[in-house]
């Protein structure tokens, strides 16, 4: 693949990361598979972490007034614990098994919601037990492959929060999780000056994506916002399942 094709793929991946930070979670999970067309998934994940961190800054500012304090109190410590678990078990865990697990969870959740018509069910309240479990899993899977969105959404979607509050909570949770991943990533996959420079050149695409994501989120009706989130989650989950089965 030529350099120009790599640049276009990297720019699109950064833009998708920005969209996810602007309020369209799960979209960002497409970034690593997309960039993996031009490099190994491990290198793609390493290259995109600085993009996630920079995009987080924009996302936190965009949603600084929209979030669920109760859910943050549950999810933030759980997410950080998940990162620690991912760090300690990185050499023991099969990327393929984790990819398959994430994909199956996300697809099963979407099918459960659609087939049982869960959109008519009353909103659920935040739960310390459920939130801690899914929060740890979100931190763990985010550390392994930047794929923390499905566990987060499985916990959060049944609460049927206002879209801005849902998006803001997702942005703040993953901003903290991504910040917690910086030192472990540097320890396991040290960054070179070339990698950091490549990431820096992609920042404008990520920031543009964050602004576009926030603009779309604030203008979509709640029902369409959640449909987009669920469909995105399902598509990404199917892609992850396929990746797990075709991985060498």
Mean pLDDT by 10 residues, the chain (248 residues): 70 86 75 72 76 87 91 97 90 74 78 69 89 94 81 89 90 93 81 77 88 85 78 80 75
pTM over 0.75: yes
* pLDDT at site 195: 73
Nearest partner of 209 among 51, 9, 65, judged by Cα = 51
* pLDDT at site 79: 96
* pLDDT at site 93: 72
């Amino acid at each position: 693949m030529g350099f120009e094709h790599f640049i276009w793929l990297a720019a699109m991946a950064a833009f998708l990361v920005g969209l996810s930070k602007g309020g369209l979670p799960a979209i960002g999970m497409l970034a690593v598979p997309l960039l993996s067309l031009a490099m190994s998934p491990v290198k793609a994940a390493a290259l995109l972490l600085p993009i996630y961190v920079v995009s987080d800054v924009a996302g936190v500012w965009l949603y600084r007034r929209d979030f669920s304090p109760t859910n943050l109190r549950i999810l933030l410590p759980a997410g950080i614990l998940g990162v620690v678990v991912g760090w300690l078990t990185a050499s023991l865990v099969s990327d393929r098994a984790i990819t398959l697990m994430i994909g199956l969870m996300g697809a099963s959740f979407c099918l459960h919601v659609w087939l049982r018509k869960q959109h008519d069910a009353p909103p659920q309240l935040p739960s310390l037990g459920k939130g801690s479990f899914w929060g740890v899993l979100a931190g763990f899977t985010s550390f392994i492959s930047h794929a923390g969105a499905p566990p987060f959404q499985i916990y959060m979607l049944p609460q049927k929060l206002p879209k801005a509050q849902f998006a803001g909570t997702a942005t703040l949770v993953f901003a903290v999780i991504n910040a917690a991943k910086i030192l472990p990533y540097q320890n396991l996959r040290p960054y070179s000056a070339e990698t950091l420079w490549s990431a820096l050149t992609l920042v404008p695409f990520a920031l543009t994506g964050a602004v576009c994501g926030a603009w779309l989120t604030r203008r979509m009706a709640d029902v369409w916002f959640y449909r987009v989130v669920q469909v995105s989650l399902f598509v990404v989950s199917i892609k992850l399942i396929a990746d797990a089965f075709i991985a060498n």
